[in-house]
Amino acid sequence: MARSQIIGTGSYAPEKVLTNADLEKLVDTTDAWITERTGIRERRVAAPDEATSDMAVQAARRALEMAGVRPEELELIVVGTVSPDMPMPSCAALVQAKLGAKRAFAFDVAAACAGGLYALTVADQFLRTGQVKRALVIGAELFSRMVNWEDRNTCVLFGDGAGAMVLAPTEDEERGLLSSHLHTDGTLADILCIPGGGTRKSFSEEVLRDKLHTLHMNGREVFKFAVRALADSTHEALAANGLEPRDVTHVIAHQANLRILEAVLQRLELPLEKCWLNLREYGNTSAASLPMTLDEANRAGRLKEGDVVAMMAIGAGMTWGSAVMRW
């Protein structure tokens, strides 16, 4: 059975930079607190007329250009997002139209910050079975419109952006996405959620007053869970391919918190130098984070043919997982 290979990557971050110093003027926080507790120094914020699909399309065009694939050649578009332009249709449908990818069927995958990895895994299944030959996977998120800008516990963490990958099948036994291992624990839904604005608590004065349409998080619980879950799923993914942590050339991880990544890599006995970091510049861009990080590492010329790339991501749900790829 053919494996999926990533033949192009792209990313996009809005122009506007919001620094920790800017946040000091909005909430009771300091640059020192944010830097020490998270590793984040700044993040990007979308322009008022910019929506998630606009960012997704920018990232997609860059990935398609690198891959040398025309939009009309695409047969599948999967967008990982929980911040679509509107509840329906999907962000992916809007992206399909803007790209002019007429042949592609398109849908969103909602797995919060694990959305990039979930979307990649879903697209991979269609490639493995031979149902599609060219797929576009995107992670795009506009959390600046979903956080409560009065809540210092959350608003300092997130940023806007999009990342994209173009997938094609490869018969090369040595290369491609070897396997991915996804997990969900819905009993933890309440530690990271947007409680209002859906069908449980639809929009009302109460929802708006109590800001239930914004992101709520128990940071400490998410932190503890993330460290254990990411380390375990990465061990699982490596073992499934007969690999050890020492075989890993690069770690491409969801960028939530530098301390989370340090703790995970310590558990895996991997040096932090193997992990491409950009949370300092972008913060947590949710589903966009993993594909944006992959694109940066790729464009920096870091990824060489045959390198073992370990990917990991975690988000609300809780959803998480790890994948192993031979570049």
Which residues does the annotation mark as catalytic?
113, 254, 284
- Assess 167 for contact with ligand UT7 (CB under 6 A): no
Quote the least distance from Cβ 182 to ligand UT7, whole Å.
Answer: 15
Of 117, 123, 256, 308, the residue at the interface with ligand UT7 (CB under 6 A) is 256
78 versus 312: smaller Cβ distance to ligand UT7: 312
Q: Which of 16, 29, 128, 193 lies at the binding interface for ligand UT7 (CB under 6 A)?
A: 29
User: Binding ligand UT7 by CB under 6 A: which of 4, 83, 90, 257?
Assistant: 257
Q: What is the 3-state secondary structure (H, E, C) of the chain?
A: CCEEEEEEEEEECCCEEEEHHHHHCCCCCCHHHHHHHHCCCEEEECCCCCCHHHHHHHHHHHHHHHHCCCHHHCCEEEEECCCCCCCCCCHHHHHHHHHCCCCCEEEEECCHHHHHHHHHHHHHHHHHCCCCCCEEEEEEECHHHCCCCCCHHHHCCECCEEEEEEEEEECCCCCEEEEEEEEECHHHHHHEECCCCCCCCCCCHHHHHCCCCCCEECHHHHHHHHHHHHHHHHHHHHHHCCCCHHHCCEEEECCCCHHHHHHHHHHHCCCHHHECCCHHHHCECHHHHHHHHHHHHHHCCCCCCCCEEEEEEEECCCEEEEEEEEC
38 binds ligand UT7 (CB under 6 A): yes
Q: Single out the segment in contact with ligand UT7 by CB under 6 A; choices: 102-110, 149-157, 196-204, 290-298.
A: 149-157
Question: Which CB sits closer to ligand UT7, 104 or 215?
Answer: 215
Range 277-306, binding ligand UT7 (CB under 6 A): 284
User: Does residue 228 interact with ligand UT7 by CB under 6 A?
Assistant: no
Q: Does 318 bind ligand UT7 (CB under 6 A)?
A: no
Asked if 195 touches ligand UT7 (CB under 6 A), the answer is no
Binding mask 102-141 for ligand UT7 (x = CB under 6 A): -----------x----------------------------
Contact with ligand UT7 (CB under 6 A): which of 70, 102, 103, 220? 220
